[in-house]
Amino acid sequence: MVPVVQLFARDVPELPFPEDRDVLQLVWCPLIHPNDQACAALPSLYWRSEADVLTSGMLQAIPAPQEGEYEEEFMPNPCTVSPTSVVE
């Protein structure tokens, strides 16, 4: 699994977070899954607390898979996002 995006509740107050959770992490598997063609990246969401995230340490670089064949297009490029509220 490689990290794709991490959102903090303070940055997206419109997004309802579960009680005692203030971080949303999206990760996915960049490996090729020939038996699962519906979703090649196999995304997973994790709701965590910021204290737990800070305790476990921050990644300095996105880890590449150690085994198996992976799609380079499924490896995210490091960047930042700036969530902006919009009223339609």
Does 77 or 44 have the greater pLDDT score?
44
Residue 23: band (very low, low, confident or very high) from pLDDT cuts 50, 70, 90: very high
Predicted local distance difference test score (pLDDT) of residue 43: 85
Predicted local distance difference test score (pLDDT) of residue 56: 80
What single string gives the DSSP state of each residue in the chain?
-EEEEEEETTT-TTSPPPTT--EEEEEE--B--TT--S-TT-EEEEEE-HHHHHHH---SSPPPPSSS-B-GGGSPPP----------
CB atoms under 10 Å from CB of 47, counted, come to: 14
What are the backbone dihedrals phi and psi of residue 31, each rounded to the nearest 5 degrees, phi first? -75, 155
pLDDT tens profile 38-68? 556 678 899 999 988 888 876 666 666 665 5
Residue 82 has pLDDT above 70, yes or no: yes
pLDDT tens profile 24-44? 999 887 776 666 555 566 788
